[in-house]
Structure 1
């Protein structure tokens, strides 16, 4: 992938996320990328990240509404909300035009309740 600004790459990520395009999203990640949603275990590798998105899109209808995208050097930050009121943020480290590392913060219990999904037992 050609070198792309963090801001443009994150906007592309949002567009693909809102389309439910797990394959398109996976193509934005480096082969050895890490996606760490802090309420879950880190996912390592492009194919595992693709499978994670495919599984999540199959379970729930999700929409990311951009509040703001900030960028500085190799890093970009996304502040987002969804139509049901959930809010969160994500940080993306971009190297050679691909996401190398992503870390996201959001309330998993609120998400599960809003989506009518089973709650953790612990």
Structure 2
């Protein structure tokens, strides 16, 4: 699959809340770095991250734009609650090797009425 096709499948599986199937889109040594959190390394750790997050809140990804440039796909997204963000995916041989995401974690926590960090 080309990068844009992988991201279309990623969105479909994300919206199903399926941690096992979405993790199958990643290389075994992939890195998922949501910049407001520590990077998650390895397919199994990525699956566990998605499993925790899907249990924490109902999340919906509505693509606004998906761009493709060589090995890279860029996803600009929103959700029904007003959160917006974007993700950059490096896709090699039809699987995600690296992902970096930008979104406002404080807004996410507030929208979903989750505990806010103390500091």
How many residues are aligned here?
A: 119
For residues 30-55 of structure 1, give each alpha carbon's deviation from its aligned partner in whole angstroms, at most 9, with x where no partner exists. Answer: 00000000000000000000000000
Pick aligned residue for 2:49 from 45, 48, 52: 52
Q: Does residue 93 of structure 1 match 2:90?
A: yes
Counterpart of 1:106 in structure 2 is 103
Counterpart of 1:23 in structure 2 is 20
Alpha-carbon distance between aligned partners in 2 of 1:97 and 1:59, rounded to the nearest angstrom: 29
Q: Does residue 81 of structure 1 match 2:81?
A: no
5+ residue gaps, structure 1: none
Q: CA deviation at 1:104?
A: 0.1
5+ residue gaps, structure 2: none
Give the TM-score, by structure 2 length. Answer: 0.99
Query: What's the secondary structure of 2:55's corresponding residue?
Result: helix
Q: CA deviation at 1:96?
A: 1.1
Counterpart of 1:68 in structure 2 is 65
Query: What's the secondary structure of 1:14's corresponding residue?
Result: helix
Pick aligned residue for 2:9 from 2, 9, 12: 12
For residues 55-89 of structure 1, give each alpha carbon's deviation from its aligned partner in whole angstroms, at most 9, with x where no partner exists. Answer: 00001000000001000100000000000000000
